[in-house]
Amino acid sequence: MRIIFAAAEVAPYAKVGGLADVAGSLPQALAGLGHEVTVYLPAHRIIDAAKFAIPEKAETRSIPYGASTARAGYPAILRDGVRTIFVRSARIGRDKVYGYPDDAKRYALFCRAVLADLVDRPPDVVHAHDWHAALLVPMVDRAKQLRGSGTAFTIHNLAYQGRTSASVLRLAGLPRSRLPVEARDECNPMARAIASADIVSTVSERYAEEILTPEFGEGLEGLLAQRRADLWGITNGIDTKVFDPAHDPQIAASYDADDQTGKDVCKAALQKETGLQVDALAPLFGVIGRLVEQKGVDLLTAVAPKVLAAGGQLVVLGTGDPAYEAKWRGLAGKQKGRLALTLGFDAALAQRIYAGADLFLMPSRFEPCGLGQLISLRYGTIPVVRAVGGLADTVRDLDTDPRRGNGFSFATYDPAAFADAVERATRRFHLGGHQWTQLRARAMREDHSWTSSAMRYVDLYRAASKARRAA
């Protein structure tokens, strides 16, 4: 099949969150299965054109944009069997991927530019990701030349819908007709993609069920319920070549499920690097991710002092809500040697935390899939998570399921429930011995590669093509 991806961020070129990891690694897995994949992303200014050998000269097109036109260039590269096209336009490319008042317009133009590049050579399927690429779905749906192209839309996070003024529709060349979920003069790109895609999917089976309820549906539960028959849940994979404790150039010593001695070396090296006391017997908890409500930062903030008081150590890497950043800075100032805080993003340090920590904390309020727990399992770092979304699908509590358990989880979103799970995990860690080694080995032997999920996406694309033909 010829498959088109459109996403705002794609690793390793431009990355803000998990969307980039998926848009960067799923295409390779599909190419590995013999499909032809082309990925479109905006040519953000942060992308290192020299490093990735992105050509300066490229074909350009004039793109209809409201009553006027805009110019876009299409430099392309081929890497690991995947063609990637960086849509270059003065109106789209900025230093940051998101965070500008005109984001809705930038991404509407991005969608139009992708559409313009597809009409001459219609693909089998167009797969758009999250709200930034969402308007591409109704655009493809309406394009006469693309009558044979199926559409798939994946929700990575329903909390961001791109809601904006209806005037964007004119720029996008779409009719103004309003969806029932839209307010007057409002355009909700994500809702429009959900309404018009041949198949809608999200990144875990549990989240696909959760978003049909008011608690997780973000106001779109009714619309999603109407699409229930075409709503799929496919759990993300991770790039098991990049994340591999047996061959990771970023970490102090390599190890695997059969020989875990290198993991102790990694722990000591991480403690040293981040200014923690070098102590093999202190349970070391890792936290990597945005310090925002979604990730349960309030629970972390409430439970951290207890963890430290009980002799634990915490290593935290992320950025986020300024109010929480300030709180964490204050705590770190008082807990030297026990709490190491890095406000920022550093992929290499992240890998050393995955390798060096004993346990990994992810008490999310909601979690479409979550990649941190998958990466930590791969490194034999035992996850402690809230049982929601993809976390519920991938982490089994050891006390509930002693034979298959690979971590610890709790259900109710409150500090006491989280603290209880952390205490249970800490007790296991202190028991140590063969049981702990076995638990780690079980975690490390799980298969979270893309192989099986990529095959499910191929089924999804077939279903999208079929639905399109039937229509």
Binding site for ligand GLC (CB under 6 A): 17-19, 22, 156-157, 203, 236, 367-371, 390
Q: C-beta of 160: minimal distance to ligand GLC in Å?
A: 9
Q: Is the dihedral of CA 313, 317, 321, 325 positive or negative?
A: positive
Q: C-beta of 250: minimal distance to ligand GLC in Å?
A: 21
Q: C-beta of 6: minimal distance to ligand GLC in Å?
A: 15
Under 8 Å between Cβ of 158 and 191: no
Which residues lie below 8 Å from residue 53, measured CB to CB, with a gap of 6+? 77
Q: C-beta of 204: minimal distance to ligand GLC in Å?
A: 8
Nearer residue to ligand GLC within complex by CB, 126 or 203: 203
Q: C-beta of 285: minimal distance to ligand GLC in Å?
A: 20
Nearer residue to ligand GLC within complex by CB, 17 or 93: 17
Q: For residue 313, what are the β-bridge partners?
A: 284
Nearer residue to ligand GLC within complex by CB, 428 or 448: 448
Q: For residue 83, what are the β-bridge partners?
A: 38, 78
Q: What is the DSSP string of 355-418?
A: HH-SEEEE--S--SS-SHHHHHHHTTPEEEEESSHHHHHH--BTTT-TTT--BEEE-S-SHHHH
The secondary structure element, H or E, covering residue 39 is strand 36-42
Separation of alpha carbons 181 and 178, rounded Å: 8
3-state secondary structure 417-448: HHHHHHHHHHHHHHHCHHHHHHHHHHHHHCCC
Q: C-beta of 243: minimal distance to ligand GLC in Å?
A: 14
Q: State the number of CA atoms in the 13 A half-sphere of 323 facing the CB.
A: 5
Nearer residue to ligand GLC within complex by CB, 89 or 236: 236
Q: C-beta of 235: minimal distance to ligand GLC in Å?
A: 9
Under 8 Å between Cβ of 201 and 153: yes
Paired sense of beta strands 76-79 and 2-6, if any: unpaired
Nearer residue to ligand GLC within complex by CB, 14 or 203: 203
Nearer residue to ligand GLC within complex by CB, 15 or 267: 15
Nearer residue to ligand GLC within complex by CB, 65 or 457: 457
Q: What is the number of residues in the chain?
A: 471
Separation of alpha carbons 450 and 235, rounded Å: 9
Listed residue (343, 392, 350) closest to 375, CA to CA: 350
Q: C-beta of 186: minimal distance to ligand GLC in Å?
A: 24
Looking at beta carbons, which residue is closest to ligand GLC? Answer: 18
Nearer residue to ligand GLC within complex by CB, 173 or 368: 368
